[in-house]
Structure 1
Amino acid sequence: MHRRRRPLVLAVCAGVTVAALAASMTSAFAATIFTDTFTDGDASGWSKSGGTWAIDGAGVFNQSNAGSELARQFAGDAGWTTYSVQARVRPTSFGSSSGLVGLAARASSSTRMYRLALLGSGRAELQAVNGSSITAIGSASLGVAAGTWYTLRIEASGSTIRGFVNGTQIASGSNSLVGAGRIGLVTAYASGGFDDVVVDSSGGGTPTTPPATSTPPSTPPPTTSGPTTPPPSGWPTPTSSQKVDATIAVSGTFDGGLRRYYGIGDGGQGESQDPMFELAAGATLRNVIIGAPAGDGVHCEGNCTLVNVWWEDVGEDAATFRGGTTYTVDGGGARSASDKVFQHNGAGTVYIRNFRVENSGKLYRACGNCSTSYQRHVVIDNVVVRDTDTIAGINTNWGDTARFSRVTIVGDPDRETSICVKYKGVPKGSEPTKIGEGADGVNCFYAPSDITYQ
């Protein structure tokens, strides 16, 4: 993971005037103008005001003096007006209930800014700070705990200021204290760590955070049938084969009796291929082997259940979850997915359990650039992984979560398989960027005991 630090420079170049470039800042939350992950150990570009700062071996920018009245690091351009700034923030200690660790936007001086603060009292508060005068724009009681990572974001557009914690808006209001300024990392009578700073330009368009779903799940839902142990090492033998010339529509339950279905599409990665099966809301697909070519696999138009479904050679995607809120994959397996096995385009939660994946790019990917964005969740339990680059990819700026338990990774002595990769979701037409990976207790949930290597 390499750091990119890209403050926007207003200059005359190749016929682009300063005014024209400045006007480009009025686009929707789409253009990344600054990022810093601190993984190179370099804090150049940041200016310090108070505190004791250092980047540790894990690439976290820490302020360690909990007795400092105000400790700040600033970066960016004093002329920035309409933008969003996001960072992962971890309080490590609070000197008092009024101590804080937070993120700043539109900092016109070291004491004049908008600040989203995690307080020692357990609250998160969006503040307009003018020296010793602090106006609360809004707050929420979150039970803030030392040692826990939180994703903070401030969106500033005109006089509208909004604050988000872990993808959920906790405050929004109108305030005209300051119209332009830099970003900042801030502590007061507290110590903390900071990572994955991202600044996007904006003009008051669609916010970077989509509508939130229900509380992220912690465990898979109970299943009424299907396998309860990991699938066998070999793929099942089809009872027969059936060529398919047009998409099979499924409502209710379709039991294929382990028949192989094949014949849709060309086996490639074309996005426009038809699915082999299209499941209506509430449908169940059971005991099916999908051969090659398989087009775009299975489309779930609403809540759906896939029980003991096997993909012998994934073409575009094995299954795409589109219109519902709860999708369950119980048993079965997939292999030879050059990109991803399960694509999550709709809202809600995908449960993947008792499943085997081999020779694939990703087992699960929450869409990072769909025309409509949502907060998405995945719960992965009791799966066997072989020759696969990534188990799950999620968009942390939208509050996605991934939970893992009983994951067995086979034939990976160098532990090159990524468990949970974090991306920055973007509008349709742009490409998401990878911003990190690994368990953090905020978006990616697993312990070393949840992952077994064989």
Structure 2
Amino acid sequence: MRTRSVVHRRPLLLAVGAGATAAALAAGMGTSAFAATVFSDNFSDGDHSGWSKSGGAWAVSGGVFSQSNASSELARQFAGQTSWTDYQVQARVRPDGFGSSGALVGLAARSSSSTKMYRLALLGSGRAELQAVNGSQITAIGSASVGASAGTWYTLRIEATGSTIRGFVNGTQIASGSNSLVGAGRIGLVTAYAKGSFDDVAVDTSGSTPTTPPTSSPTPTTTPTTPPPTSTPPPSTSWPTPTSSVKVDATTNVSGTFDGGMKRYYGIGDGGQSESQDPMFVLSAGATLRNVIIGAPAGDGVHCEGNCTLINVWWEDVGEDAATFRGGTTYTVDGGGARAASDKVFQHNGSGTVYIRNFRVQNAGKLYRACGNCSTSYQRHVVMDNIVATDTDVLAGINTNWGDTARFTRITADSGTRICVKYRGVPKGSEPTEIGEGADGVNCIYSPSDITWR
């Protein structure tokens, strides 16, 4: 059994059971606690190692796991442990085309065999249905109209606790019921007479989301008082000293990996808030930027044109933005820090999820902002873990009317910091309005024990 870092390119599979502690990763699970993420795969490494096929034509392309045979009666991929009992599994799911009657694309939990499982299916009729599947016998636990259509991504989640089975689409519960068909089993990706794509699969054993938003911050089933043994140390308490300084006059385009050797790069723009400034680095899809100190002026910082990874990157003086996430679906910031951001540090314009972990932010407006008036109104997500915030107004700003979510674990912040601020997103040319803040178990997800106030 192999273990990997908290954000993974291949499936992460950690031991669960007596004496085993899983890594604390909020992998888009929509729960009030993230102390036991036991599996995660975003397919960004280009393969599907760890999955076992049963039918269909499967391949990984562009960081997405797809089944392309619409005539396949039942195509499945399974992963995980047959011994898993109470857990929740979440994935981004996109129907790519519905074939004949009975077509579906969905997610499975507690698969004790290739034909026995709980399944949350997007149907060609536009409905989502939570099902207990036992061979050809299919029992509907509940369903709802979600307007499911080909070409659109949906976030599906199944929660299985004892005999209680719940299904969620884009964070909204569409079905809940009691069923004792199967008590343990693996997770699965499923299509029937349909083409479908899957991404950002994660399994969590820490508890389930409240069925209605709580009036106060939810209390997790498992509340870690200290980071688990597999976690990384807290962000550095000091800012790094550059090994040397490099003045640049034009944007550096990065494909593959760029390792700066802890040199300071500076020289683009005027250090102000103008949105017309060029970026210091532009990362193509799949690129990694690491061990870089970005000095001032730095223009518009870093642009990620697709999925990207920033490792141990430090911004000494944020100008317009430290980084803008644009064209991908999965972006990772691991380590490093940013300071002196009069507006925001990370701007999320594209779709998908931004993971920020082991990061220090100082003297900033917002650490993260999901764009509230971009030309395309995506559903966006942010997951923060192991963050230290000093003199920072807001950790995350999200647009709840578009289904954005923000999840927080192991946060250390000043008493005046606002953890999660909600906005109503608007079309381009208008200004979004603030409509609230604080934990609600649906869009802003954290518990009192996730925040350490100073």
- Structure 1 pair 433–122 and aligned structure 2 pair: CA distance change class (3 A): farther
Tell me if structure 2 keeps the 8 A contact 1:390–1:421: yes
What is the DSSP-based 3-state SS (H/G/I as helix, E as strand, rest coil) of the residue aligned with 1:261? Answer: strand
User: How does 1:387-398 map onto structure 2 within 5 Å?
Assistant: 387-398=391-402
Counterpart in 2 of 1:417? 417
- Aligned partners of 1:350 and 1:445: how far apart in 2? 15
Equivalent of residue 412 in structure 2, options 408, 424, 432: 408
- Aligned partners of 1:286 and 1:312: how far apart in 2? 15
Deviation digits for residues 61-109 of structure 1, max 9, x if unmatched? xxxxxxxxxxxxxxxxxxxxxxxxxxxxxxxxxxxxxxxxxxxxxxxxx
- Structure 1 pair 281–335 and aligned structure 2 pair: CA distance change class (3 A): same
- Aligned partners of 1:338 and 1:393: how far apart in 2? 15
- Structure 1 pair 217–291 and aligned structure 2 pair: CA distance change class (3 A): farther
Counterpart in 1 of 2:438? 438
- Aligned partners of 2:171 and 2:429: how far apart in 1? 22
Counterpart in 1 of 2:108? none
Cα drift, residue 165 of structure 1:
7.8
Cα drift, residue 371 of structure 1:
0.8
Tell me if structure 2 keeps the 8 A contact 1:124–1:142: no
Letter in 2 for 1:301: E
Cα drift, residue 169 of structure 1:
12
Deviation digits for residues 90-134 of structure 1, max 9, x if unmatched? xxxxxxxxxxxxxxxxxxxxxxxxxxxxxxx976579xxxxxxxx
Q: Does 1:317 align with 2:304?
A: no
- Aligned partners of 1:441 and 1:216: how far apart in 2? 20
- Aligned partners of 1:438 and 1:214: how far apart in 2? 28
Counterpart in 1 of 2:352? 348
What is the DSSP-based 3-state SS (H/G/I as helix, E as strand, rest coil) of the residue aligned with 2:449? Answer: helix
Equivalent of residue 329 in structure 1, options 320, 333, 339: 333
Gaps of 5+ in 2: 1-140, 147-155, 160-167, 175-197, 205-230
- Aligned partners of 1:141 and 1:244: how far apart in 2? 46
Cα drift, residue 234 of structure 1:
1.2
User: How does 1:204-353 map onto structure 2 within 5 Å?
Assistant: 228-353=232-357
Runs of 4 or more above 4 Å deviation: 121-126, 140-143, 164-170, 213-219
TM-score w.r.t. length of structure 1: 0.52
Percent identity between the two aligned chains = 79
Q: Does 1:385 align with 2:402?
A: no
Tell me if structure 1 keeps the 8 A contact 2:235–2:386: no
Cα drift, residue 231 of structure 1:
2.1
Give the root-mean-square deviation of aligned CA atoms.
2.9
Deviation digits for residues 129-180 of structure 1, max 9, x if unmatched? xxxxxxxxxxx9999xxxxxxxxxxxxxxxxxxxx9867798xxxxxxxxxx
Gaps of 5+ in 1: 1-120, 127-139, 144-163, 171-212, 220-226
Deviation digits for residues 169-206 of structure 1, max 9, x if unmatched? 98xxxxxxxxxxxxxxxxxxxxxxxxxxxxxxxxxxxx
- Aligned partners of 1:247 and 1:418: how far apart in 2? 34
Radius of gyration: which is bigger?
Answer: 1
- Structure 1 pair 398–214 and aligned structure 2 pair: CA distance change class (3 A): farther
User: How does 1:29-178 map onto structure 2 within 5 Å?
Assistant: none
- Aligned partners of 2:199 and 2:427: how far apart in 1? 23
Deviation digits for residues 262-305 of structure 1, max 9, x if unmatched? 00000000001000000000000000000000000000000000
Deviation digits for residues 335-380 of structure 1, max 9, x if unmatched? 0000000000000000000000000000000000001110000000
Q: Does 1:374 align with 2:378?
A: yes
Deviation digits for residues 24-47 of structure 1, max 9, x if unmatched? xxxxxxxxxxxxxxxxxxxxxxxx
